[in-house]
Amino acid sequence: MQLDEEAEAMRRGAHGRARQWAIEHQLRVGRYFGAQQMVRVDQAHIMADTESLGAVGVDWLESLAALPPEERRVRIPTITDPRGTDFTRTAALRHEEWMLDLERRAIAAFEAMGILMTNTCINYQTIMPPVFGEHVAYGDTGVVIYCNSVLGARSNFEGGPSALAAGLTGRTPSYGFHLDQQRRGSLLVELSWQPDALHEWGALGGVVGRLAGDYWRVPVLTGLRQAPTSDQMKHFGAAMASFGSVAMFHIEGVTPECRSLADVFDGGMPPERHRVTPDDVQRLLASYNDGADGVDVVVFSAPQLSLLEMQQVADLLDGRRVVTPLLAITSPQVKPDADRLGLTARIEAAGATVLSGMCFYQSYAREMAEAHGWKRLVTNSAKLTNIIGGYGYRPVLLSAEQCVEAACQGCIP
C-alpha cells in the first residue's frame, strides 16, 4: 500500500505510539483486501460496549489513554455507539458493579483520547449526517448501511479497533465501499407492494439480507410506490445488515445513486433477479412464533428510537398499564426532547421504562436474561430478533401495537 509522507511518519512512530499502532493495523487490514492506498475520512464512529471489549479490551484502551495528550488524541471528530448501560437505571437493569466499573473505565479512556461520548447508533438522525460522497469510518452496521445507501456517504463496516484507528490517523484503507465499483448493483429485488409498519420494513430487510447474504453484494429494490421514511429506512437497513452482512442497497428512484436501474447496473441487465412478496415477509415473521403465548420482556430498541418512535410508543401506552416489563431505548440526543415534550412521562406513567445511551443487545443481554429470568422477548425490531437468540432469548417479532398489547396483557395478543 502506498502511504503519503504523513502516514509514513506515523508508521515510523514520529506521531507517537497510538498512531503507529493505528497505521500498522490499517495496513494489515488494507493489504488483506488489496487496498492500494488510504483515503482521508472526516468522521469516525466507534462501537465499543464493554461486553464486547471485555477487561482485556478496556486494559488496552487505558494503555492508549495513558499516553501523552499529543499522542493519544484523535485527529478527526470521533463519536461513540451505545454504551453497555444507562447509568441512571442500573439497579432496574440489574447491571452489576463489575460491568459498571468496566464502563466507567472505558468512558474515561475514550474521553482522554478526545472522543465524544455520543452513545448512539442513530447518529445519522441526530448528530451530523454525512453528505453525499463523504468518506467516513463508521462502526455499527446499521449506521453504515444507512449512510452508504440513503445518504450516499462512503464507509465500510469499521469495527471498534479500526474506527479508533481511523480517528487517530484521519484515514482508512481505500477498499470496498469507498470505491465506485463496489457500489454497483449485484441483484435486483422486485416488489409489487410496500410495507407499512416498521417491523414489516425490518422483516423485508431480513428477507433481502438473506437473499444477498454477503457483504460484497448490493441489492437493488424496484417497485416501491413511495419513498420510505427515515425510520422505515432505518429498520429496513439495520435488519438487512444484520441478516445478510449487507453494507449498501439501492432503491430505484429513491436513494441518491439510483435514479434509474441503469445507474447501478451500468445500463445492462441485472445479473440476478428475485421477486419478494408479502408472503415472504409473513414467513419470516412466523418463523419467530413458536406458538407459546408467554412474554417476559418487551423491548423497543436496535436501533435506538427516534423522537417519532418515542411518540408512537407514548401514544400506544396512553391510559394503559403494563404487566410485563417494557423497555423503550433511545439516544442521549433524543431523550431530552422526549422529556421536554412529555413523551418520557407518558411512557413511564404506564409503568414502562425509558432508557438512553444504551442498546438492548449491547448491554449485557445474557446477564440481564439470567438476572431477570427473561427468555421470551417481544420486539418490533427485526435486527434484535436476529441477534438476541445467541444470548439465550426466544424472540418474537410483532408490530409496535402488538408489542404494547403484549406488555399490557402479559401474553402474545
Partner 1 sequence: MTEFLARSAMGAPVRGTAMVASDGFSARYDLDRIKGVFVRPGHKLEGRAYSGMILVMDRAKGGVATAWMLREMASRGIVPAALVFNTVNPIMVQGAAFGDITMMSGFDVDITQVVQDGAVVELDTTPDRKLLRIIG
Please give the residue ranges that form the binding site for partner 1 (CB under 8 A).
25, 28-29, 32-34, 47-49, 51-54, 56-57, 60, 139-141, 156-162, 176, 213-216, 241-247, 361-362, 366, 386-387, 389-390, 392
- Cα 24 to chain centroid distance, Å, stands at 27
Cβ of residue 62: shortest distance to partner 1, in angstroms? Answer: 14
Cβ of residue 254: shortest distance to partner 1, in angstroms? Answer: 23
CB 356 within 8 Å of CB 93: no
Tell whether the torsion through CA atoms of 223, 227, 231 and 234 is positive or negative: positive
CB closer to partner 1, 314 vs 387: 387
For 273, the grid coordinates are 433477479
For 353, the grid coordinates are 421504562
DSSP 155: -
DSSP 371: H
CB closer to partner 1, 149 vs 222: 149
CB closer to partner 1, 54 vs 336: 54
Percent helix, strand, coil in the chain, to 5, is 45, 15, 40
Nearest residue to 103 (alpha-carbon basis) of 139, 63, 55, 65: 55
Cβ of residue 215: shortest distance to partner 1, in angstroms? Answer: 4
Cβ of residue 157: shortest distance to partner 1, in angstroms? Answer: 5
Cβ of residue 28: shortest distance to partner 1, in angstroms? Answer: 4
DSSP-derived pairing of the beta strands 38-40 and 171-173: antiparallel
CA-based angle 22:28:29, to the nearest 5? Answer: 90
Cβ of residue 174: shortest distance to partner 1, in angstroms? Answer: 12
For 206, the grid coordinates are 431480513
CB 53 within 8 Å of CB 61: yes
Cβ of residue 390: shortest distance to partner 1, in angstroms? Answer: 4
CB closer to partner 1, 53 vs 305: 53
Nearest residue to 217 (alpha-carbon basis) of 179, 254, 178, 184: 184
For 115, the grid coordinates are 472522543
**Amino acid in position 270:** P
For 4, the grid coordinates are 503519503
DSSP 410: S
DSSP 306: P
Cβ of residue 182: shortest distance to partner 1, in angstroms? Answer: 11
Residues recorded for the chain: 413
Cβ of residue 26: shortest distance to partner 1, in angstroms? Answer: 9
Rounded Cα distance, 20 and 166, in Å: 12
CB closer to partner 1, 52 vs 260: 52
Rounded Cα distance, 72 and 49, in Å: 20
CB closer to partner 1, 243 vs 300: 243
CA-based angle 400:403:407, to the nearest 5? Answer: 140
